[in-house]
Amino acid sequence: MDQTVNSTSEAGKPDLLFGPQLLRPWLIANFAAFTIGGLIGGGVLRAIVGPWFGSDVSAMEAARIQATGAATSATIFWTLAGAAQWLVLRRAIRAAWWMPATVAGWAVAGVLLGFSSGGSTSTIGPVDGPIPLPVALLVLPPLFLLLVGGGQWLILRRETVAAGMWPLASVGALLFAGLIGVSVAKMLPWIAGTQYPSAQALLVVGAVSGPIYAWLTWQFLAQLRRRSRDSQLS
């Protein structure tokens, strides 16, 4: 169903792409998806990489193990998050490709992050990964932004002319929310430091970070104005 409308309201002001009535569903959807996704994705990640903690494998083998775990858990997590977000966004825009774009981007990003991370934090294999650190720092951040936010941006830009900063806004919100989530989880006495990653640790991280991520990204989404009919057809 065509959801495009004129870019001006009856009052003569541009239409907001996402009205305030969608804030509560957006918060609830992300809280639920991040919590459940953290529980399932964290458990799967632990099951894949946990048996290899402290192992003396080669850098390439460590990269393979970590890439598999990161990609699999990211796919699970963002399938849930992408679907939950789509259920809200579809009420305002044509968002049929939101979940596939989100999952595909995060799956590839998970491979790259896992492959390049090395054993400095996971204790799997040598400290350094197969990709030299200067190369990883130069190439991976912009590539990561493109992968996780590019597909979503393509969907948003069909409806608005002001979506260019969405990849940076969404990734920045995720990093900030995740940092707070991890900080809260580490303060809980029943989650020891050795339980990262795990289902119970990432359950807490997801439950805390989901609403924060939703609130921060909403500040960006709530400012978007709908394209005119002519610009959508052009």
Q: How far is CA 15 from the centre of its chain?
A: 27
Dist CA 97 CA 90 (whole Å): 10
The tally of CA atoms less than 13 A away on the side-chain side of residue 167 is 21
Q: In the predicted model, what is the mean pLDDT of residues 48-65?
A: 87
Q: In the predicted model, what is the mean pLDDT of residues 15-33?
A: 95
Which pLDDT band holds residue 53 (cuts at 50, 70, 90)?
Answer: confident
Long-range contacts from 163-169, C-beta under 8 angstroms, 24+ separation: 163/224, 165/220, 166/220, 169/216, 169/217, 169/220
4 pLDDT more than 50: no
51 pLDDT more than 80: yes
193 pLDDT more than 50: yes
pLDDT tens track for 142-166 = 999 999 999 999 999 998 888 999 9
Q: What is the crossing angle of helices 199-221 and 23-49, to 10°?
A: 150
Q: Please check whether residue 128 is in contact with residue 118, taking contact to mean a CB–CB distance below 8 angstroms.
A: yes
Dist CA 109 CA 49 (whole Å): 17
Q: In the predicted model, what is the mean pLDDT of residues 190-206?
A: 87
Q: In this predicted structure, what is the pLDDT of residue 229? A: 59
Q: In the predicted model, what is the mean pLDDT of residues 73-85?
A: 97
pTM exceeds 0.85:
yes
pLDDT tens track for 202-216 = 999 999 999 999 999
Instruction: Indicate the domain borders of the chain.
Output: 20-233
125 pLDDT more than 90: no
Least confident of 8-17, 89-98, 115-124: 8-17
pLDDT tens track for 28-50 = 999 999 999 999 999 999 999 98
Dist CA 202 CA 81 (whole Å): 14
Share above pLDDT 90 across residues of the chain, in percent, rounded to a whole number: 64
Which pLDDT band holds residue 12 (cuts at 50, 70, 90)?
Answer: very low
* pLDDT top residue among 11 and 155: 155
- Enumerate residues 6+ apart whose C-beta is below 8 A from 100: 82, 151
Looking at the chain, how many residues does it have?
234
